[in-house]
Structure 1
Amino acid sequence: MDPTNESAATLPAATAKADATRRTELFIGACVVLISLVSLFVAVSANRTQERLLAASTWPNLQYSSSNANREGKRAISFNLLNNGVGPARIRSFDLRYHGKSMRNSSELLRECCLRDASQTAPTTTVSTVRRRVLAPNEEVTFLRVPLQASTEATWQVLNREAFNVQLRVCYCSVLDDCWMLDTGKPEPEPVKACPATPAGSGWEN
């Protein structure tokens, strides 16, 4: 047999084998890339799931309430904040408003809402610090309490009626620095990027 013819016959077979090898290598490479992409997607999804679980496990939720009697049944108007979430609530700003106007302290609130005559005596009040306070889960703070007293009953009754016109805007954050704004004029607290400053001159933090 002619050696030249034998070499010519084996050349297509060698080329076909090389092509098959390249296709196999390309297929393996594509599989490796695909597996890497799937692994990356799974890792990112797992990380996001863990972030959501962590955020859910530290979620605070502030609720506002008012009442005109304490647990013992004694007549006292109280304004309260309750954290009924599962994580601590770090209060960053506090704005109490009466008919839309910011009240710097309890004295200003009573003057605006209830002291119709300059000769009237303001009732005794108890104020608790709110801003920069951390409320644990299921912890409640009464930031303003006004007990009923015979000498100031008329003013107390006015406040009891006007309590429904008191509005709060309280911004608070979780331990992960996710923040929400509680606006009692809206049904639910809303997420915010950052908390606004407390109005200048506010005495609710003192």
Structure 2
Amino acid sequence: MTKIAWYKKPEMIVALSALLISVVTTIIGIYSTMIDRSYARASVWPRVELFRSFSPEKGHFSYGVMNNGTGPAVIKYAKITHNDKPVKKWSDFIVGTRLVQSHIGTRILPSQANISAITIKDKAYLTEILKMDEQIAIELCYCSIYDECWMVDRSNQPIEIAHCEISDEQRFMQ
């Protein structure tokens, strides 16, 4: 009687086939889960941009924040500096004008929404404001609902960061 090698026995062929199919199915399942997670993140990806606008005829000047992404932006902090010095509120360096302001730090900005951080309505003050504009730096740190965070400044080139941190001395409080 001839002895058959263990791997040639019918029950071992069936067992090894089942094992191979299980391994392939597991790999496909893991890959599919990775794709689903990537799609979920992409479907709620925020893209915050800063903009300014002015109308010389009306004497209006404004800074705004816009979310052009597909999901909400959780704004963690705003940092505004004038002549490289952090400011707490607009009135620290913009005085004697008519201004309308909105809170821009620690808020949720829905997708395709924008807010006007500040609007100055003073035709006589417009030239001085345009000169000040060159000395103002604005930085926002925001996150997606999955806690993926970015920092953006007036160049509108978001930089991915691990998390948003800022000292209270530098935080814009307005």
TM-score normalised over the length of structure 1: 0.74
Moved more, 101-110 or 35-44: 101-110
Query: What is aligned with 1:122?
Result: 96
Higher relative contact order at CA 8 Å, sep ≥6: structure 1 or structure 2?
Answer: 2
Q: Which amino acid aligns with 2:47?
A: N
In the superposition, relative to structure 1, how do residues 98 and 30 fare at CA in structure 2: closer, same or farther (>3 Å)? farther
Supply the distance in 2 between the matched residues of 1:139 and 1:172 (Cα, whole angstroms).
Answer: 15
Unaligned runs of 5+ in 1: 1-11, 111-120
Task: State the secondary structure of the residue aligned to 1:54.
Answer: helix
Residue among 46, 50, 60 paired with 1:64: 50
Residue among 50, 54, 59 paired with 2:40: 54
Query: What is aligned with 1:101?
Result: 85
Moved more, 48-57 or 127-136: 127-136
- Number of aligned positions between the proteins: 173
- Between Structure 1 and Structure 2, which shows a larger proportion of helix residues? 1
Query: What is aligned with 1:4?
Result: none
Supply the distance in 2 between the matched residues of 1:188 and 1:52 (Cα, whole angstroms).
Answer: 22
Residue among 154, 157, 161 paired with 1:192: 161
Contact 2:86 2:170 in 1 (8 A): no
TM-score normalised over the length of structure 2: 0.86
Contact 1:95 1:199 in 2 (8 A): no
Shift of residue 101 of structure 1?
2.6
State the superposition RMSD in angstroms. Answer: 2.3
Moved more, 193-202 or 86-95: 193-202
Deviations 1:76-104 (A, max 9, x none): 11010001111111111110122433222
Deviations 1:121-149 (A, max 9, x none): 62222221111211111111111111124
Unaligned runs of 5+ in 2: none
Supply the distance in 2 between the matched residues of 1:194 and 1:74 (Cα, whole angstroms).
Answer: 41
- Between Structure 1 and Structure 2, which shows a larger proportion of strand residues? 2
Q: Percent sequence identity over matched residues? A: 21
